[in-house]
Structure 1
């Protein structure tokens, strides 16, 4: 065991010895310590771990405290004691005690070795009344702290949240497509549900208490882009919220790749005068349960009508059972009317489009002299999985209904199915691709064009996609002599003949995990039915690979 170095020993000997008895102890803390006493000002009260405390029993004051990791050695007890002697909490003055009492034999023996020759008596006692009283006070404060969710509603809240997660409304609804939830007989009136997650960034639902709060937030976000203004706009919202996270708290993983058992819902409240809190009180929890229940029922029943970006005028009425255990008195069921709000959705979408168009106009002014590339290669994300395949006709019909975005064509259903190009990437990148293609007016056609490397002598089969605005996008480079690609191209050409020149583009998520290279129907986010293009239609001639400049 390391002893005190000579200079520290001499410094402690110079301290006045106080005729008092100090209590010392180290105890595990299952909850963070409460804030409020000046004795706690020198440590981070948010940490758990073991609490070390030294108290002057004669004067009844805490001289020093610390919170350490449970695996920290007994040296931490000595460090806290030395601080109690030399730098005690105010109003205590520096000094050495005549006696120290502890209720842990290991601490007693360690202190005797570390503090020998300092003239301090170190004794064992079975009880430490002053420290016991302090810890009882701490526990009382912890016990009075409200839980994050009312205990009687925890099970119902989590059940309804998981129903929403499994329904996956963000696969069909963008954040401007608002759904109203009117609860009859409640002073809350109508909630306005905004679904987050279509871009695969943050999954959840915001339940706004007023349309004014919703629209004002959108306007402030569009108008102000500084971090301070955005934070102010965020805190000005008036809503309940439900978000979904990984139970493992892994920020890098796409939640859509996880099984439902690994998804954790969190709940909270936002209000301009309260800010954000991660606590729901009884009435808020009950309101959230009813709203989520009604929302999940509605979405499941109208899901097929919301595919391909469609948002028609729909409305349904439900009798939602009130969960047991609440203090609220009333009927066993609440009448709830759930409706889409297409006019509001159009207004919110126009707000965002106008803002983007303004930014694009500014960018266009800066880029007037820039030449557009003949063939763009910025559409498909790096490391995407590409393949030429086929979707059987019976599967295609289901995919047309389930895809988040569907571009239809008068396809001639002949042969074993629709030939398709599959591009599989992560959910956020897939959503970005889809938005880019939608902004370009959709996809006009897909084809292949010859390419060559004059220096290396290699020849390529270049996969090219044309959008409705005329842009050409490279989606893949295939070696012309690759037997796998040669076989796939042969099947592709034969299938396109049978469909009378029709093919498709499927954009899917799930790049990592079991679905890589074999996406399931739920992973397929977009289906574009388009014409197949010949090299003559593309009209680029043989493209040559340009050498990189040094």
Structure 2
């Protein structure tokens, strides 16, 4: 059993001891009750509470998982003593009562030097009353959606997901939706998802709110200021997230790109943000029907204007749709909804972002100069390929290569004559956001110049390596793979690589694909391949690096 440090005991003894009896307990709390308490716990968990029985106030409360040990009761108790909830003052009780014999004996062993009596009682009336109030809060909390709109809005969300408007529109390209019902005149839709970070639709109640939020985000830097800007919005929203029942235990939510997942693994969330209400993760009836009409109008607009919106330009488009109320909704009516693009607002928001970026560039000029100097002095870098990426050496047939040249989002061509069975390629697979960032880095460096394999060694261990290197057009060289010299799989892959490069007269390719977390991991399909860079296969003599040595903490450097 753990014990308190002597310094902690001395500190606790300095607290004023008050003639009070505290009730302490740990109880199971359903996910609905935890949600009422605005807890971060998504599943059922335990709630620990310490109450002052004389003052009738909660001194400390904590949510923990059911697997958390009895130490959590002590941690909450120490907070109740030293850092209680306001208006309570730091203090030490004369007596503690609990309704669990094991907890009683455990606390006696931990707190024996603090002159606190610890007794067992079968019932804790104040704690019972507190949890009854939690239950009432849970039962009176409104559902996330009115029952008659659940199926309707989930169906509309699925249609929007299949429309994939983020493949056509950036978040500054605003679409207005004129409804003129339910105290809503025009909603201004901003599409999230082009960056592969968060997918959804924001429906602003006014252009002023939208512009204020963008200006605030561009001007603020601290987390607190960004949070204030977020809560200052006036909008309805629909966002997509991975369904709770499809998470793996060891999966990092931040690394998931929803576009890599099956439709069955994705679910919508609806809510409202208002400067005076804050963020509310549910919709009332009038909000739900307004969101239904807005999403249905957007779905029809995307379907009717897909070709025009797919161009790089953001054209001026206007459509009118007559949308009837769904069968489950009364009264029956048909609403005329006007949907149009707002290019002038898109240009204003884009210019606003560009000005902020220019100011940031000026502030970071010295840092960029240092980076350029570093580029000139470091022969081999390892900051290009995202950590955790999958990569392999292989070959793509000429027929499949022709298809990829037409479908890839980015294609760097070379004049390559088809020879042999196909083009030797390096495949780099990562998440969609990281793939986009990688492509942009290569583009920013002028494109890809070549691929090389260069010898390296670990002088401490005597190990030899075959180092995969990418060289960009600005001369930078980046490590993409370290292959041990005695790996039979790599030896055979290198032999085939060299043979194929001879047949293509020294040409090869690098394919960047998404889907690291999805079903296509290690075997991306054409739709997952985002970029094809055709380049030269360079010899180690052409690079002129010689034997590179592994230096601990610094990677491979010149000998």
CA RMSD of aligned residues (A): 4.9
1:287-317 alpha-carbon deviations (Å, 9 max, x no partner): 322333344455566667777x945436363
Q: Which of 421, 425, 430 is residue 425 of structure 1 equivalent to? A: 430
Distance 2:413 2:449 in 1: 11
Question: Alpha-carbon deviation of 1:420?
Answer: 3.0
Give the one of 160, 164, 167 matched to 2:160.
164
1:474 paired to 2:479: yes
Instruction: Map 1:319-468 to 2 at 5 A.
Output: 319=321, 320-327=323-330, 330-331=333-334, 334-337=337-340, 343-344=347-348, 346-351=350-355, 353-364=357-368, 370=374, 372-392=377-397, 395-396=400-401, 399=404, 402-403=407-408, 405-409=409-413, 412=416, 414-415=418-419, 418-441=423-446, 443-453=447-457, 455=459, 461-468=466-473
Per the alignment, in what secondary structure is the counterpart of residue 543 of structure 1?
A: coil
Over 3 Å counting, the alpha-carbon distance change for 1:156 and 1:400 in structure 2 is farther
Please tell me whether the aligned partners of residues 201 and 237 of structure 2 are also in contact (alpha carbons under 8 angstroms). yes
Tell me the equivalent position of 1:98: none
Within 2, Cα distance between the matches of 1:166 and 1:322?
22
Match of 2:290 among 287, 290, 294: 287
Partner of 1:278: 281
Residue 534 (1) aligns with residue 510 (2): no
1:183 matched residue in structure 2 = 178
| SS, match of residue 189 in structure 1 | strand
What does residue range 56-135 of structure 1 map to in structure 2 within 5 Å? none
Could you give the per-residue CA deviations for residues 469-504 of structure 1, whole angstroms, max 9, x where no partner exists?
44232223446774322333135415633xxx6643
1:240 positional shift: 1.6
Could you say if the C-alpha distance between residues 49 and 194 of structure 1 is closer, same or farther in structure 2, counting changes exceeding 3 Å?
Answer: same
Query: Retained in 1: the 8 A contact 2:315–2:341?
Result: no
Give 1:209 shift: 2.9
1:494–1:297 distance in 2 versus 1, CA, 3 Å:
farther
Residues 433-481 of structure 1 deviation map (CA, whole Å, 9 limit, x = unaligned)? 233334434x232221433438478765543333344423222344677
Question: By how many angstroms is 1:432 displaced?
Answer: 3.0
Q: Is the 8 A contact 1:508 1:523 kept in 2?
A: yes
- CA distance, structure 2, for counterparts of residue 512 and residue 246 of structure 1: 12
CA apart distance, 1:267? 0.7
Q: Which residue number corresponds to residue 91 of structure 1?
A: none
Specify the alignment match of 1:516 in structure 2.
521
Aligned CA distance change for structure 1 residues 289 and 409 (closer, same or farther; 3 Å)? farther
Deviations 1:364-405 (A, max 9, x none): 3666865541222211123322123344455456545654x3
Task: Report which of the two structures shows the higher radius of gyration computed on alpha carbons.
Answer: 1
CA–CA separation in structure 2 for the residues paired with 1:470 and 1:305: 39
Q: In structure 2, list runs of 5 or more residues that go unmatched.
A: 1-26, 48-55, 67-121, 123-127, 554-559
User: Relative to 1, partners in 2 of residues 1:216 and 1:324: Cα closer, same or farther, differing over 3 Å?
Assistant: same
The partner residue of 1:198 within 175, 187, 195 is 195
**What is the Cα deviation at residue 154 of structure 1?**
1.3
**Greater mean deviation of Cα atoms: 426-435 or 294-303:** 294-303
Query: In the aligned structure 2, how far is the partner of 1:321 from the partner of 1:395?
Result: 46
Asked if the contact 1:424–1:511 (Cα under 8 Å) also holds between the matched residues in 2, the reply is: yes
2:511 to 506, 509, 529: 506
Residues 389 and 281 (structure 1 numbering): CA distance in 2 closer, same or farther, change over 3 Å?
A: same
Task: Show CA shifts across 1:20-74 (max 9, x none).
Answer: xxxxxx9999964999xxxx9xxx9x99999xxxxxxxxxxxx9999999x9xxx
Aligned to 1:313: 315
SS, match of residue 350 in structure 1: helix
| Deviations, residues 192-238 of structure 1 (Å, cap 9, x unaligned) | 313136243x3333223333333332322232211221111111112
Q: What corresponds to 1:209 in structure 2?
A: 205
Shift of 1:408: 4.3
Alpha carbons of structure 1 residues 180 and 363: separation in structure 2 relative to 1, 3 Å: same
Matched, 1:485 2:488: no
Distance in 2 separating the partners of 1:138 and 1:453: 64
Query: What's the TM-score, normalizing by structure 2?
Result: 0.64
Match of 2:83 in 1: none
Against the structure 1 CA distance between its residues 240 and 470, is the aligned structure 2 distance closer, same or farther, given a 3 Å change threshold? Answer: farther
CA–CA distance in structure 2, aligned partners of residues 487 and 368 of structure 1: 36
Return the alpha-carbon distance in structure 2 between the equivalents of residues 275 and 426 of structure 1.
Answer: 32
1:346 positional shift: 3.8
1:160–1:289 CA contact under 8 A, matched in 2: yes
SS in 2 for 1:273: coil
User: How big is the shift at 1:261?
Assistant: 1.7
Change in Cα spacing, 1:450 to 1:327, as seen in structure 2 (3 Å) is: same
The whole-number CA distance in structure 1 between the counterparts of 2:499 and 2:208 is: 56
